[in-house]
Structure 1
Amino acid sequence: MTILFHDPLLDELGVWPLAYAPYGGCDFGELRAIATTVGDGGADAFYAAFAAMADGLAADAAAAEKAGHTASARELHLRAAVYYASSFHPLYGTPVDPRLVDAFDKQSAEFGAAMALLDPAGTAVQIPYDDTSLPGYLIPAPGSAGERRPLVVFTNGYDATITDMYFASAVAAGRRGYHCLLFDGPGQGEMLIHRQLPMRTDWEHVITPVVDWALGHDLVDPDAIVLSGWSLGGYLAPRGASGEHRLAAVVADPGQWDVGATMTLMATSMGVAPRAAANPSTIDQKTIDAMMAAITANPRLDWSIVKRGFWVNGVDNLADFLAATLRYSLDGVGSHISCPVLVTTAEDDFLSRGAQRFVDELGDRVTLLDFTAAQGAGMHCEMLNRSLLNRRALDWLDDTLQRA
């Protein structure tokens, strides 16, 4: 059953901003107007409708700023950023669609304009990383006036942008008094779209320089740095914590101990023998072709695996994609996590089905939160009741840091 958009995939992507409504990122009427404009159209209509709404809000933001209406300008810049960020999700894939790049850049510009109008202002940062840097924003808690406080480092997964992460998590954390650091890692946002750096599974290699940078900032309490990840970040965050032991806590929403096991299950459901599924290079080409035919015939699978998964992982064929996913595992390293871990699981989210593995492996270091359809939070990342997730996660974090 769809919520607003006629097409099931476009509805799944298009209702993301509803998660941000409690935090000022969306109004239902705007989203319904966009869906009405899209009607029975496809990805092109989806992009055009979201971009048109964003263009209008961006123009209003500029006018409000010129007139000295700072609060309105900030809200409008942020709302425009959300709709630009939403517009290009169906366009994922290679070769990269120039409309995607344009919308991403406009989203980044609108978000940056809004950050400059916060009080205190959010600051664009570049975090040294290998021979390049990771772009991000340090966003002080409202009213903190230069105070040293706990810092939550938020990490995305496959799909989202810094704008998404801001509304999904950082606004709520800031209201609780936490400073927030948002960044793009390899395979995410600017690092993928402009620098062509694919995702890497050893996220500890990414998080350690981020923590190094944070420890050099006067606003950050060095004993209270938290790492929180959503979607694929529910694997990346604990993977980062497995090799970075200066963290006070980690949040995985949802907890994903072994992402590769999910892809292996998909392969076996398509008739691949378990031994071959565990070693994709041994799958014969006829079987690969049959799997690809089934995937491309399913719009949801085609988008998530071929368009999104291939691009993010820097591969161009199914066998290499399956091999890449097998490396997304905490086996052999997860036991090295030394800080408290909050893990979520949602009733209707198959990606969270392995969350219990964290409890089995890490024992009382883990707190498991269950979310249900009856709460309106049974979907991936609790997207239709994100405020419930934030309340429960931040309560846990408040208690955990007080005990430390």
Structure 2
Amino acid sequence: MGIDDPRQGAAIAQMMGCSQLYLQNSTPAGELVEIPWGNDDALQGYFLPPPGRAGRKVPVVICVGGAEQYKEEHLCRMPRYAHERGMALLLIDLPGHGHRRGFHEGFGRYDIETAISGWVDFLQTRREVNTRKIIILGDGLGASLATRGASFDPRFAAAVCDAGIWDLHERAFLASRIYGGEPSSDEFGDDVVRLCSSSIATRIECPMLVALGERDWLEAGHVRKCCEALAAGGHNVELKVFSAAETAASHAQRDNPTIANEFIFDWIADQLATIR
């Protein structure tokens, strides 16, 4: 359904209505939450506390999707993995995302980082949140937004992100357009690797996990070199490439999200275990 489809408004309203029924009937119940944004506007999110943790401060995983995703998609994909490990979830809207998309709202909005920090500010006001254990998880193309958020906000305990790979590809592409010529795939990849030392990920202070499918749109070899360059610079970054043999090898591990999410949330739990 296109953003100009006249049926979109009704479909989105029904989707959000179903999502709110899901929250109300969860155990414990989830919440529809908001933070102020812009002039008389707000960003919405879904806060889902884990069962059996009433009265205790809990870690929170902020889930960020790509511009083409709706936060509602995560309701059927993420809660089980977080809740089994005693973590709460915050599924968020960002400017220009999901039902907020418009013709003039794009993926590269300048205010994404500010909005992500606004959601961290919100969590710090919640009594049930362990503010030393806030994690950001970027799903699909949201991995690049998780990198942007973590690079501008030092309050994250860990980040599941793309370690700045999307940003590096954009810069390499723009450089090729400015200086002319059509670089080969290998030359383009070499340009990306060369730019790693100035990646926005170098500003991230917390541990990073890059989860990549072998058949993703990114070349696994280039991503590995970028992660190695970041590690050589003293950054705590781990790369997991899901092979075709084990499945979860497609973009965002859509062919087997269970394997991917089990690995990702186990990694998050390991990082949290080191924080007292």
- TM-score, shorter chain, exceeding 0.5: yes
Aligned residue type for 1:349? D
User: Are 1:358 and 2:227 an aligned pair?
Assistant: yes
Q: How many residues are matched? A: 255
Post-superposition CA distance 1:273-308 (Å, at most 9, x none):
x866248xx99xxxxxxxxxxxxxxxxxxxxxxxxx
Q: Distance in 2 between matches of 1:219 and 1:364?
A: 31
Larger Rg, first or second structure (1 or 2): 1
What secondary structure does 1:205 align onto? helix
What secondary structure does 2:61 align onto? strand
Matches within 5 A, 1:3-402: 91-93=1-3, 96-131=4-39, 132-192=41-101, 197-199=105-107, 200-201=109-110, 203-252=112-161, 256-259=164-167, 261=169, 277-278=177-178, 331=198, 333-351=200-218, 353=220, 354-356=222-224, 357-362=226-231, 363-402=234-273
In the alignment, what sits opposite 2:185? none
Post-superposition CA distance 1:39-65 (Å, at most 9, x none):
xxxxxxxxxxxxxxxxxxxxxxxxxxx
Q: Distance in 1 between matches of 2:43 and 2:126?
A: 16
Name stretches of at least 5 consecutive residues in structure 2 with no aligned partner.
Answer: 182-195
User: Which sits farther off after the overlay, 139-148 or 232-241?
Assistant: 139-148
Select the structure that is richer in helix. 1
Q: Distance in 2 between matches of 1:197 and 1:143?
A: 40
8 A Cα contact 2:158 2:207, kept in partner = yes
8 A Cα contact 2:212 2:253, kept in partner = no
The Cα shift of 1:113 comes to: 0.9
Q: Distance in 1 between matches of 2:217 and 2:164?
A: 10
8 A Cα contact 2:163 2:201, kept in partner = no
Aligned residue type for 1:231? G
8 A Cα contact 2:248 2:254, kept in partner = yes
The Cα shift of 1:370 comes to: 1.2
8 A Cα contact 1:257 1:358, kept in partner = no
Aligned residue type for 1:171? R
TM-score, length-scaled by structure 2: 0.82
8 A Cα contact 1:125 1:135, kept in partner = yes
The Cα shift of 1:173 comes to: 1.0
Q: Distance in 2 between matches of 1:201 and 1:170?
A: 30
The Cα shift of 1:244 comes to: 0.3
Q: Distance in 1 between matches of 2:23 and 2:104?
A: 26
The Cα shift of 1:260 comes to: 6.3
RMSD in angstroms over aligned alpha carbons? 2.7
Q: 1:236 to 1:201 in 2, by over 3 A?
A: farther
8 A Cα contact 1:134 1:191, kept in partner = no
Q: Distance in 1 between matches of 2:198 and 2:235?
A: 18
Name stretches of at least 5 consecutive residues in structure 1 with no aligned partner.
Answer: 1-90, 266-273, 284-328
The Cα shift of 1:263 comes to: 9.3
